[in-house]
Chains A and B, each alone.
Chain A
Amino acid sequence: MLSIKNLRASINGKEILRGINLEIRPGEVHAIMGPNGTGKSTLASVIAGRDIFEVEEGEIIFRGKNLLEMPVEDRSSEGIFLSFQYPVEIPGVSITNFMRTAVNEQRKYHGLDPMPANEFLAKMEEKKRMLDIHAKLANRSVNEGFSGGEKKKNEIFQMAMLEPALAILDETDSGLDIDALKVVANGVNKLRRPDNAFLVITHYQRLLDYIVPDIVHVLFDGRIVRSGGKELAMELEEKGYEWIKAEA
């Protein structure tokens, strides 16, 4: 599904990713762990297409297409979803309006007619129910005045609405209390299907208790220095990142 080869990326001339290789197949959940400042969020941003990063070398192939040649919105329509670590506030734009625009633009990309309003609203209701999100959220402006937990729930809700092939969760657990964390993790688990995949970026092992990964990667200094099964996460939790640093 996603194939990243020898990806090098920099910001303002400073190299952050120094040759990333990653293969994700449908149905898989991958976790990327690592200390702060090693390039985890950069990787997520580069896949999504944030232009402040300069891709120096390498390729990202997603379902047979070269992502690096596409603008951000096309990557999204192709099925890449990024759950932001710090979702931005968009005053005055209701979530309903925002999602409807997104859904219909993506449909347009695929040559489909806009979704009829009643169908769209029914879908919103269904997803809200599925994720235990209170109805009021939908009429508020995007992320404006949301608590940390509400922002993250809203990200998961959008993910449910857009039904991406690959969802990247960038530190979705940061700033969440245990209850909000469970809501978020439950949402992700409900959305898992054989034909989609998840890339979960996290600093702590905690989230992985609820979203169980198939493969865990350790990112350090811009490279994946170690990959393994879910037990690797436990090992990291016990030994800390110093262990990896020492090895690297």
Chain B
Amino acid sequence: MENDPNNILDEVTKGEYKYGFYTDIEMETAPKGLSEDTIRFISAKKNEPGWLLEFRLNAYRKWLGMTEPTWAHLHHPPINYQDIIYYAAPKKKKELASLDEVDPELIETFNKLGISLEEQKRLTGVAVDAVIDSVSVKTTFSETLEKQGIIFCSFSEAVQKVPDLVKQYLGTVVPSDDNYFAALNSAVFSDGSFCYIPKGVRCPIELSTYFRINAANTGQFERTLIIGDEGSYVSYMEGCTAPMRDENQLHAAIVEIIALKDAEVKYSTVQNWYPGNKQGEGGIYNFVTKRGICKGNNSKISWTQVETGSAITWKYPSVVLMGDNTVGEFYSVAVTNNYQQADTGSKMIHLGRNSKSTIISKGISAGHSSNSYRGLVKMTKRALNSRNFSQCDSLLLGDKCGAHTFPYIKTENQSSIVEHEATTSKISDDQLFYCNQRGISTESAIGLIVNGYAREVLKQLPMEFAVEAQKLLAISLEGSVG
């Protein structure tokens, strides 16, 4: 992609958060607050089997006994969990038979987001599952995929269509009491995406989910489950936006990935939730648990994330390397500006022999923001001859922000090698002068240098995402250097 002239960084577009509009759609919501009744309401709405309701209620009871984690380098006022609407869905008049029947307002919303569902379908060959507030509204391309035995649909649909698969894997990577936010999600998750790639199938197109929070006072709790059966391959993308609102909104999602023998799953995220305004008011609280397990030998899971949004990001996409010769990767760019706070990183738990993991994290902080890398690399006794390499760099723009690195390394065998490197730097005056001398304005120069700094990660993204991510980086940092 580097040689493709069309991918040369376009001129940085001006503008603040451009996805901050609100769509007026008739909504169906649950009453505010959380109780067993709320959970029964959600479960009934979705016509769920009894075991799933039990799963939810179990999680809820565990959650009641848990406390919010405080170890992250984050500060926020307490979240009132009774002041949140746990279910909000565009009101369906009847079952949708085709795209023509989708609420035109909704189609308009996705057009504004640059993901015209119909366009996507025709032009790019990307299958899209769009989730608005809590409910999946449209999945494109599913018929094409079905021919290959690939199941790509909303989570609720999967519960109806393939309940055994869901039951077999749900909560096996992220147990319902894994952590406070995971327990909350397990209790109230509303919808999300489900994906199953059968044995030996290479998914021919990128699968993509677009998440959007629209309604006010709403939390979004989606749940994604991806299963790569033996010898399969899939590349999966996730994008997210939210309207600009003065109050904070909670987003607590779970993503579980299972890679069986010889399978490869690549998961890419461009997270662009509303970050709040310049004074730090509003924005999404993003507490997300993402974890994959390389269950079978020779399997591979790769996380790539570009984090530019959210007022608070608490997120540690992880890989449990259970099989022998498995590979885990984590590539991350996290940008924080104004009063954003991010505490993000990865965990690589090596259980299998000859397992390999790579962590490349590029933090960029500006304004009054705080940006922390937190990661764990663990080599267990059994993980002989395993390797990890971690590189965690921080770039500081301005002297009011913070950039922190908290790596945890634990090694319990003598044949594994763990290497961690980190540097902290700023954009040098020499670099800016050099760019200026070639006629490049300071703003553009920062965009250029930051993209260069993040290139190692950006080049991991699928093409569709890479260009968007590059622009996003430059926009997120606008006005950060005076």
Is A in direct contact with B (CB under 8 Å) within the complex? yes
> A73 interface residue, CB < 8 Å from B?
yes
Q: Give the shortest distance, in Å, between B426 (CB) and chain A (any CB).
A: 13
Q: State whether A73 touches B448 (Cβ < 8 A).
A: no
Q: Give the shortest distance, in Å, between B248 (CB) and chain A (any CB).
A: 34
> B77 interface residue, CB < 8 Å from A?
no
Q: State whether A72 touches B437 (Cβ < 8 A).
A: yes
CB-defined interface of B79-97 with A at 8 Å, one 1/0 digit per residue?
0000000000000000000
> A13 interface residue, CB < 8 Å from B?
no
Q: Which residue of A lies closest to B12 (CB)?
A: A101
CB-defined interface of A60-89 with B at 8 Å, one 1/0 digit per residue?
000000000001110111001110100110
Q: Which residue of A lies closest to B4 (CB)?
A: A117
A76 vs B430: C-alpha distance when bound (angstroms) = 16
Q: State whether B428 touches A88 (Cβ < 8 A).
A: yes
> B421 interface residue, CB < 8 Å from A?
no
CB-defined interface of B437-454 with A at 8 Å, one 1/0 digit per residue?
111111010001101111
> B434 interface residue, CB < 8 Å from A?
yes
> A36 interface residue, CB < 8 Å from B?
no
Q: Provided the pairs A92-B451, A141-B452 are in contact, do residues A76 and B436 lie with their beta carbons within 8 angstroms?
A: yes
> B46 interface residue, CB < 8 Å from A?
no
Binds B, one of A27-35, A102-110, A171-179, A208-216: A102-110
A contacts with B, residue count (CB < 8 A): 43
Point out the residues of chain B lying under 8 angstroms from A162, CB to CB.
438-439
Within B1-45, the residues touching A (CB, 8 Å) are: 2-3, 5-6, 8-9, 11
**Residue of B6, B428, B448, B456 most packed against chain A (CB within 10 A):** B448
Give chain B's interface residue range (CB within 8 Å of chain A): 20 to 34
Q: State whether B11 touches A104 (Cβ < 8 A).
A: yes
> B400 interface residue, CB < 8 Å from A?
no
A235 vs B436: C-alpha distance when bound (angstroms) = 38
Q: Which residue of B lies closest to A92 (CB)?
A: B452
CB-defined interface of A115-134 with B at 8 Å, one 1/0 digit per residue?
00110110000000000000
Q: Which of A77, A139, A142, A158 contacts B2 (CB 8 A)?
A: A139
Q: State whether A48 touches B449 (Cβ < 8 A).
A: no
Interface of A is mostly: helix
> B408 interface residue, CB < 8 Å from A?
no
Q: State whether A92 touches B456 (Cβ < 8 A).
A: yes
A73 vs B431: C-alpha distance when bound (angstroms) = 13
A94 vs B4: C-alpha distance when bound (angstroms) = 12
Q: State whether B434 touches A92 (Cβ < 8 A).
A: no
Q: State whether A97 touches B9 (Cβ < 8 A).
A: yes
> A96 interface residue, CB < 8 Å from B?
yes
Point out the residues of chain A lying under 8 angstroms from B429, CB to CB.
52
Q: Give the shortest distance, in Å, between A154 (CB) and chain B (any CB).
A: 11
Q: State whether A73 touches B453 (Cβ < 8 A).
A: no
Q: State whether B434 touches A84 (Cβ < 8 A).
A: yes
Q: Which of A49, A96, A99 contacts B436 (CB 8 A)?
A: A49
Point out the residues of chain A lying under 8 angstroms from B428, CB to CB.
88
Q: Provided the pairs A92-B453, A121-B5 are in contact, do residues A97 and B448 lie with their beta carbons within 8 angstroms?
A: yes
A92 vs B455: C-alpha distance when bound (angstroms) = 6
Point out the residues of chain B lying under 8 angstroms from A152, CB to CB.
none
Interface residues of B (CB under 8 A from A): 2-3, 5-6, 8-9, 11, 428-431, 433-442, 444, 448-449, 451-456
Give 5 closest A-B pairs by Cβ, nearest first. Answer: A92-B452, A93-B452, A117-B5, A72-B436, A76-B439
